Chain A
Amino acid sequence: MKPYVMTALRNPLLWIVPAVLLPLLVAVGAVMTSRQVEVRASVWTQRSSLIDTPGVWLKVPAQTEADAFNERLGTESFQASILTAAGLDDRVQNGTWPGESSLASLLGKSALTKPLAGFFGGVSSGNVDSNHRRALDALKSSLKAVPQGDSLLYITYTGSDEATGIALVNGAVDVYQRETLGLSSADAQAVLDFYAKQVAEKQQVLEDQDANLRAFEAEHPAAVGSPRPPSEAQQLGQLQSIYNIRLSEYELAINRQGDAQVRAQAALTSSGADFQVVDPAHAPQGTTIKLRSAAMLTFVGIVFGVGLGGLLIVLRTWFDETVRRGEDVRRLLGLDLLAALPNLEKGGK
């Protein structure tokens, strides 16, 4: 132990640099790289179903919408639409977004180390597919929908680039709103078609029944001043009852068609009244630092720095063959120590 302590005292830079400066640099780097902005848009959602499906209201609308958004965020078409809406296509094409890591950039400069660059974030130049893939991954990891209460929804971006965050959040809300409204229109049309068919069928049935009734009356005209025979009166009564039933069915179908038309029209003309952006994405008030990741990186830096410093001290001690102390004379030279003179002077032979 003593030789190592002496080596450490003799060569303080050997352990100070890695054990102190390295963690310090890592800490500063970690704080710098973990600075992140959070951009968010607030959306008011009040989803309604055009078809009365039992149980649809049992789920909280904001949670439903957040789940739907996050699920859709996993699809490449949705991601690509967001990139387009955010105006990032060109930047993705030329590799300036999400950008390569500085280490990858450094490694990419040498043909020898270029293959290694892929492990550290890839190299953008000349690899459009790779850039696109990385852009989609970056988008997926930075965007998220989080429910706030029953009807409020936050669409958030977490990353380092504020302007890109605003563009992405607004783009994502826009694309989602558009696609959601598209789905509502399709639903409304399907319902309208369904009731139109119902009305047509009921009308046909009613007309047939009306024709039957008329035919029976024509075949058995009622005599003036004398009642119908009982059998005819019974048959006519049955036909009229059936007609009345068909009529009420037809009217019910007409009513439902009318309701569907009103609700579909409301959905189409509401401009997303059930998905309203109440607070679009804007510049955040301040930046946040991921303290946990910074602390973790710093801790790793300390462990690595202390370990490296200790290793350097051990190696320096092992490979040091300088005669320093009396015991070194016997150990290194195999000679007797006659005397050890203390260090008293600065010069002299």
Chain B
Amino acid sequence: MRPTLEETAVPAKPLTLLGKRAERPQETSAPALREHDPLFALVTSPTVRRALQPVAERLLGQTQGGVFCVASAEPGEGRTVVAATLSLMLSESTEKGVLLVDAHLRNPSVRALFGLPDSPGLAECLRGECRFLPAVSTVGGLRVLPAGRDESPARLFSTPAAKRLVEQLRDTCNLTLIDLPPLTSSSEAATLCDWSDGTIMVVRANSTRASTVLRAVEMIDRRKVVGVVLNRERQELPRWLERLL
């Protein structure tokens, strides 16, 4: 029986660095029904958490915090799982405020993953239809900014408001993780990577070709690539054979 988010998450804490305490993010309790969602089960899987522990510690070691993108070359590589798990782990491990932003406007999944209500998100904020803080939901100790809805994300992220928002995130949140759309199929992903402080590349093992990943890395500043999280790595050889070879 895997632990539910309620069991694993620490109690919600206010984002201490958020500018206006009057505008508190809306509290959202982690829905118990989500435990049957396979994706959610992965996010809360002890195995996944144990594997991602070094990454979380590395991000926590960032003295100044910052904005980090979780990117991948192609769809279906496991970005959202990595981003959500890391966010949860970070929010549980630190008193610092941790924010997860879903920037994949074409195919958002963070809202569904956490079972958040249908409310304005990142897109509405960028269009100026709502303010930033009311759009942020709280899941345990984690703040979540869902994607919202927009027909042309590329145009939306090319506006000055987008860059201002990233700067605002850097100024107001200790640690922000942005779940990006695939780099090879969207231009806004590279833009956000350039504005961020670092990018974690997620690569699906046994699926993604090295040339595809390298092409994606060429689209962004390579120096900002913190490293690679290899997802779904298979133990292909029996242990005895592995030792033998």
Contacts and interface: CB of A to CB of B under 8 A. Distances in A.
Interface of A: 1-2, 5-6, 9-10, 321-326, 328-329, 332-333, 335-349
B144 to A, nearest CB: 16
B235 A342 contact: yes
Contact of A344 (B47, B75, B82, B209): B47
Interface of B: 38-39, 41-42, 45, 47-48, 51-55, 58, 75-82, 109, 200-201, 203, 205-211, 213-214, 217, 225-237, 241-242, 245
B54 A339 contact: yes
Given A5-B245, A323-B209, 20 more contacts: A2-B245, A6-B236, A323-B213, A324-B236, A325-B230, A332-B210, A336-B227, A338-B58, A338-B226, A338-B227, A339-B230, A341-B47, A341-B229, A341-B230, A342-B235, A344-B45, A345-B41, A346-B38, A348-B81, A349-B76
Contacts of A324: 205-206, 233-234, 236
Contacts of B203: 323, 329, 333
A321 B41 CA distance: 31
28 contacts: A5-B237, A10-B236, A321-B211, A323-B205, A324-B206, A325-B205, A325-B230, A333-B203, A335-B228, A336-B227, A338-B55, A338-B58, A338-B226, A338-B228, A338-B229, A339-B51, A339-B54, A340-B51, A340-B230, A341-B230, A342-B234, A342-B235, A343-B232, A349-B39, A349-B75, A349-B76, A349-B79, A349-B80
Contact of B228 (A333, A343, A345, A347): A333
Nearest to B76: A349
Contacts, number: 132
A6 B51 contact: no
A55 B41 CA distance: 104
A347 to B, nearest CB: 6
Given A323-B209, A347-B38, A349-B79, A335 B51 contact: no
